[in-house]
């Protein structure tokens, strides 16, 4: 056992660019901002230390090599970026770790891995809920309920799958822009309800039986879309991906659902389209500025569902990802979810 641990330690030291094996044990800092089964990440030649994500890292932990982050204060990350000189690997539990990326860590020395995969089920469920809300207009029923009024136009006999309206997922043409892990989890539920799914990603091809196109095909895809589900990361390449020009390509009845990052939609252009009635509605879980400012025109725009970044927020299987990446690190293998 001891020989194995020494081997691991040497491998870790060598991987982390250290050349002496008798240095003090390496440290992994894990956050107290979520409940982790710490026992299940024991057994590696590292010591594990809890830390508070809202305050600066204590001096006795500042030499840690590995930092696991979840819901850290911006000030905590900025301080860590400046003071944690031995840091070599950050495992974020967020699928889109924009907070870590903007904190000023030295990308040439530190490997950053995301929590993509930990939010698949929760975000897929939320996206499905937003789509159903949009099609079945629960939001409008609630508006009437709060006024003590019967929304008669939404009940009783209804046309079945009327053309030019988004009223059901059956036969709906759903385009998922950002066809990654979350999209792959969402797709079977939509297929089960009778939707036709197409995807958009950087790399075209067939994924999980779904045809995925590159962005240059959007002019053909958007006009054939009843519901556009955006699940894009919030990096510079996706800034205002859905802009005024692309919104104009959507049919007038099409809904936009966004559970990725708010920066991928030009919100001013979206409000203009909603107010002009050139798109059907928008169900948004993420916004360019969060919390959505009181001054935002989105609050009062027609057919908008505001969800307060509630889709994810509870990483599932974090321990398994940390263990998998620790093992890969020690084996000198490529980590999972490297940015």
Ligand X SMILES: NC(=O)c1ccc[n+]([C@@H]2O[C@H](COP(=O)([O-])OP(=O)(O)OC[C@H]3O[C@@H](n4cnc5c(N)ncnc54)[C@H](OP(=O)(O)O)[C@@H]3O)[C@@H](O)[C@H]2O)c1
The footprint of ligand X (CB under 6 A) covers 95-96, 116, 119, 123, 178-182, 201-203, 215, 231-234, 237-238, 259-261, 285-286, 309, 311-313
Question: Which residue lies nearer to ligand X by CB, 242 or 330?
Answer: 242
Residue nearest to ligand X (CB): 180
Identify the three-state secondary structure at position 5: helix
Least Cβ distance, residue 326 to ligand X (angstroms) = 21
Least Cβ distance, residue 150 to ligand X (angstroms) = 34
Residues 231 and 257: beta-carbon distance below 8 Å: no
Three-state secondary structure of 278-330: CCCEEEECCCCCCCCCCCCHHHHCCCEEECCCCCCCCCCCHHHHHHHHHHHHH
Least Cβ distance, residue 186 to ligand X (angstroms) = 9
CA distance 254 to 334: 41
Question: Which residue lies nearer to ligand X by CB, 201 or 282?
Answer: 201
Question: Which residue lies nearer to ligand X by CB, 170 or 202?
Answer: 202
Closest CA to 246 of 284, 226, 273: 273
Question: Which residue lies nearer to ligand X by CB, 13 or 307?
Answer: 307
Question: Which residue lies nearer to ligand X by CB, 30 or 287?
Answer: 287
Question: Which residue lies nearer to ligand X by CB, 6 or 237?
Answer: 237
Least Cβ distance, residue 271 to ligand X (angstroms) = 20
Question: Which residue lies nearer to ligand X by CB, 55 or 237?
Answer: 237
User: 237-256 in b/e burial notation, b at 16+ Cβ within 10 A?
Assistant: ebeebbeeebbeebbebbbb
Residues 285 and 258: beta-carbon distance below 8 Å: yes
Least Cβ distance, residue 47 to ligand X (angstroms) = 30
Identify the three-state secondary structure at position 69: strand
Least Cβ distance, residue 17 to ligand X (angstroms) = 28
The C-alpha torsion from 97 through 247 and 244 to 265, rounded to 10°, is: -10
CA distance 25 to 48: 10
Least Cβ distance, residue 110 to ligand X (angstroms) = 19
Give the single-character DSSP code of 104: T
Least Cβ distance, residue 25 to ligand X (angstroms) = 33
Residues 298 and 304: beta-carbon distance below 8 Å: yes
Q: Which two tokens stand for residue 198?
A: 């197409």
Question: Which residue lies nearer to ligand X by CB, 284 or 329?
Answer: 284
């Amino acid at each position: 056992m001891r020989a194995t641990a020494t081997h691991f330690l040497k491998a870790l030291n060598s991987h982390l660019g250290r050349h002496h094996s008798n240095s003090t044990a390496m440290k992994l800092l894990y956050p107290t901002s979520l409940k982790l089964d710490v026992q299940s990440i024991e057994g590696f030649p590292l010591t594990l230390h809890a830390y508070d994500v809202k305050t600066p890292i204590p001096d006795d932990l500042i030499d840690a090599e590995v930092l696991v982050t979840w819901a850290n204060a911006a000030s905590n990350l900025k301080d860590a970026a400046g003071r944690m000189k031995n840091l070599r690997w950050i495992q974020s539990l967020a699928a889109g770790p924009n907070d870590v990326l903007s904190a000023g860590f030295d990308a040439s020395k530190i490997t950053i891995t995301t929590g993509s995969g930990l939010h698949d089920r929760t975000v897929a469920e939320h996206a499905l809920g937003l789509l159903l809300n949009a099609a079945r207009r629960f939001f409008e029923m609630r508006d009437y309920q709060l006024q003590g009024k019967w929304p008669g136009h939404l009940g009783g006999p209804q046309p079945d799958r009327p053309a030019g309206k988004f009223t059901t997922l059956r036969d709906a043409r759903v385009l998922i822009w950002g066809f990654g892990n979350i999209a792959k989890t969402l797709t079977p539920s939509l297929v089960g309800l009778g939707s036709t799914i197409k995807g958009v990603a950087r790399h075209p091809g067939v994924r999980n039986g779904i045809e995925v196109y590159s962005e240059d095909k959007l002019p053909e895809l958007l006009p054939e879309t009843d519901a556009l589900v955006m699940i894009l990361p919030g990096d510079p390449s996706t800034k205002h991906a859905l802009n005024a020009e692309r919104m104009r390509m959507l049919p007038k009845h099409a809904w936009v659902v966004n559970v990725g990052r708010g920066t991928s939609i030009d919100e001013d252009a979206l409000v203009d389209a909603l107010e002009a009635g050139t798109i059907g509605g928008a169900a948004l879980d993420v916004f360019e500025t969060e919390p959505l400012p009181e001054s935002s025109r989105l609050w009062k725009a027609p057919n908008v569902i505001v969800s307060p970044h509630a889709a994810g927020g509870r990483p599932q299987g974090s321990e398994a990802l940390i263990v998998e990446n620790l093992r890969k690190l020690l084996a000198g293998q490529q980590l999972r979810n490297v940015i």
